[in-house]
Amino acid sequence: MEALAVRLSGLDPYVDGAIRIVGFYDTLMRRRVDLPALARASAGLAECVAGIRLHGTGRTIRVSPHGTEASPPQQPASTTAPITLDDEEIGTVWLERAGSPGPLDEVLLDRLAIAAAAAVERYGPARTTMADPALVELAISAGSDEAARARALRLLGFAPDLPVYVVAVRSRLPLDRLGGLICPARPVKAAPLADVGVILAATVDPARFPADVRAGIGAAGSPDRSWRQARTALRFTTPREPVVRHTDLGALALLAEVPRDAARDNADVAAIGRIADNADDMEALDAYCATGSLRRAADLLHLHHSSVARRVEQIARTLDIELTGPTGLTRARLALTVWRLHND
């Protein structure tokens, strides 16, 4: 193969240049250089600014041909290539060449992307966000023994002394992107499991969930218990409260244990079912139950309080519950919650 490469390089200057680039990056990889060193070497080789960005952490490295940090603003990329690891795109590399791309820029970036993936795998941050679903299930299953669970967590990249939160999510966003958003700088793994996405993270920032994501967050501790808590919390999510921590539910979490038949036979829950097809009634009842005040519910709904008062009065007649009293309001809140737990 080497003899063939030498013969080809003698016939075609492009091939000669490509082979030299491949050898250049092979040497860098054998020396186990890190991302900043790769960027410096690439910028020097390309004689223009070279950049590396990791999606999971947002880390960006831009280096000038002189080996120093490139000054802002970032120029439009002349050529780009994805960094992939375990079939997941984890970042991007690019060149900022003035004018047209060079004839060997694509080859250079292809090798840079391969070298960057190897550096990420070797030095971190966490290799890839997506994990083997079987390994994640082993880590969170109640049927796993502690030795198997500890091994699964170790293989997933979680040290024994690291806290592990389990998050149950329903989202149109790819799980790897979501994991990177809520836990940008610490270990995080994700996998689809049945009809829900599972994220294991060393920390979780609820404020970083996008608006259209439903998520239940379990407490740190044993992953199997955190998983049960996360699934329960996910059941309590609503459009008004799309992200729920299990620790914030308190005694309300007990409602998730009410059997379906018992819920269906309860008069208050059955009454909620009678208005469930009327979206306006359900929205008004939800706002009133959430605030306990007609005026605050009206503000929430962007309606005049007299309109909300008439609607709540009509709902009260349908439910046969006196909603203006504390007992009736509590009954309505509980009934609405239980109905949602079994119908959402």
Which pair of structure tokens corresponds to residue 223?
């992953």
Residue 217 is predicted with a pLDDT of 98
Say how many residues make up the chain.
344
How far is 229 from 112, CA to CA, in rounded Å?
43
- pTM for this entry: 0.65
What is the domain count for the chain?
Answer: 3
Q: 131-145, 189-203, 222-236, 288-302 — which one is most confidently predicted on average?
A: 222-236
Q: Is the pLDDT of residue 29 over 60?
A: yes
Q: 316 or 125: whose pLDDT is higher? A: 316
Residue 68 is predicted with a pLDDT of 93
In a domain, 80, yes or no: yes
In a domain, 128, yes or no: no
Three-state SS annotation for 90-101: EEEEEEECCCCC
Is residue 88 located within the same domain as residue 164?
no
Average pLDDT over residues 271-294: 92
In a domain, 34, yes or no: yes
Q: Is the pLDDT of residue 78 over 70?
A: yes
Of 123, 152, 167, the residue that ends a domain is 123
Residue 285 is predicted with a pLDDT of 92
Residue 121 is predicted with a pLDDT of 74
Residue 11 is predicted with a pLDDT of 46
Hey, how many other C-beta atoms are within 10 angstroms of the C-beta on 47?
11
Query: pLDDT tens digits, residue range 243-277?
Result: 999 999 999 999 999 999 999 999 999 999 999 99
Q: How far is CA 175 from CA 205, 214, 309, 321, in A?
A: 15, 12, 42, 43
Is residue 106 located within the same domain as residue 214?
no
Torsions phi, psi for 99 (to 5 deg): 85, -155
Of 196, 230, 254, the residue that ends a domain is 254
Domain holding 70, by residue range, is 2-123
Torsions phi, psi for 61 (to 5 deg): -120, 125
Residue 8 is predicted with a pLDDT of 38
Residue 61, CB-side half-sphere exposure with 13 Å CA sphere: 20
Let me know: does 268 contact 331? Beta carbons within 8 Å: yes
Average pLDDT over residues 158-181: 90
**Cis ω on the peptide bond leading into residue 259 (within 30° of 0)?**
no
Q: Is the pLDDT of residue 4 over 50?
A: no
